[in-house]
Amino acid sequence: MRTNLRRATIAGVGSYAPEKVIKNQFFNDYYKKDIGTFLEQQRNIKERRWMSDDQATSDLILPAAQQAMKQAGITSEDLDLIIVATDTPDYLSPSTASVVQFKLGAKNAGVFDINTACAGFVTACDVASKYIAVDDQYQNVLVVGAYAMSKWLNMDDYKIASLFADGAGAAILQPARDTQGIMATTMYADGQYHDYMGIYAGGSHQPITAKVLADKKQLLAFPKRIPPETNGIHWPQLTKTLLEKIGKTPQDIKKFFITQFNVQSIYETMDRLELPHDRAHLVMDKYGYTGSASIGMCLADAAEKHMLKKGDLIILLGSGGGMSMSAFVMEWGFDS
C-alpha cells in the first residue's frame, strides 16, 4: 500500500447559469396565487434561471468548465480526467462526460458520469481527489456538477416547479503543492428514502410508455415527504466527523458551502454548530435550486467575490435524493 499519497486541491472554479431569468412573479401569475412570498421568506429564492429548448446539460457545462480551466491556467488538452455529476444527463447512455470531452476538445481526458443526485458535485470532488492521491498520471481533473431540471418539471405541481432551476458549477482539481488541500472526506446514505424524490420513469424499473407519458411519470416527483429535519441533523454530524479527523472546531471554518435547497436547514445547521448564519454562503436567491450544480456555483460565486484567501478552511456539504450525502474539509489553495 502506498504511503506517499498526494492530496488534491481546487485550482480553479467556474459556473454558468442560463440567460433566461424566471422571477417569482412568473409563478404568481401562472398559478394565480401568492407563491413568491413563501419562496422568498422561507426558501430565500427570488429568481432562477431556466435553459432554452435547444440547450442540453453539456451546453451548461462548457462555459463553467472553460472558466475553471482559465482560472487554473490550463487548457482542455491538459485535462487527464472529466467527471460529470448529474441526474439530468444529455442521454441515458452514453455519459454526458463523453459529450463534454468532445465539445471541449479534451482529447487526452478519460471520462465518466456519477449520479448521487444533488450530492454529486461534492462526491465527484471526493472521487477526483482519490484519483490524484494514488495515480501520478492524474494532474488535472475537471469536476462538474450540472443540472437541467427545468426539462423534467411537472408544471401541475407548483411546489416542485417553483423551486428548481438550471446551471453548472465546475472545479479543476490538481495535486496540492503549497497548501494541505482536501484534508478529510466523509459520506452518509440512507437508502430507505430512494423512492421519496426523483425521476422514476425512463430506466429499467419503469421504461417510457404511452401511459407513463400520459400520467407524466417521466417528470420529477416527490411521492413521499422526506422528514424536514433530515439535513439539519446530518449536516452538523458530518461537519463534526470531518473536524474530529483534522483536530479543528466549527469556529475554525471560514465558509460553508451547502446544498442550496432549503435555507432554513442551512440556518439550522449553523445554529447547531453555534455559528452565525452568514458563515454559510448562499446563492439560491438569484439561482433557485440547482441541485448537483448548486455547491459548485456557490463556490465559484464566493471566489468571484474575493471571499476566499489561500489557507482558509472551508467545508462542502452535499445532500441528495437517495438519501445520499457527501462532505469534505479543505484548505483553500489560492487567493480568489
Tell me the pLDDT tens digit for each residue of 141-175: 999 999 999 999 999 999 999 999 999 999 999 99
pLDDT at residue 2 tops 50: no
- Mark whether 281 and 147 lie in a shared domain: no
* Residue 1 banded pLDDT, cuts 50, 70, 90: very low
CATH code of residue 289: 3.40.47.10
Report the percentage of the chain scoring pLDDT > 90: 94
CA atoms of 216 and 309, how far apart (whole Å): 47
- Mark whether 34 and 103 lie in a shared domain: yes
- Mark whether 204 and 325 lie in a shared domain: yes
In a domain, 108, yes or no: yes
Q: Region 240-261: what's the mean pLDDT?
A: 97
* Residue 4 confidence (pLDDT): 73
In a domain, 88, yes or no: yes
pTM: 0.96
- Mark whether 157 and 291 lie in a shared domain: no
- Mark whether 160 and 304 lie in a shared domain: no
In a domain, 319, yes or no: yes
CA atoms of 296 and 50, how far apart (whole Å): 17
- Mark whether 157 and 189 lie in a shared domain: no
Query: Which of 145, 178, 211 is the last residue in one of the domains?
Result: 178
In a domain, 336, yes or no: no
Buried b (16+ CB within 10 A) or exposed e, 116-129: bbbbbbbbbbbbbb
* Residue 286 confidence (pLDDT): 97
**Which residues constitute the domain of residue 135?**
8-178
Give the number of domains in the chain: 2
What are the pLDDT digits (tens) for 184-226?
A: 999 999 999 999 999 999 999 999 999 999 999 999 999 898 8
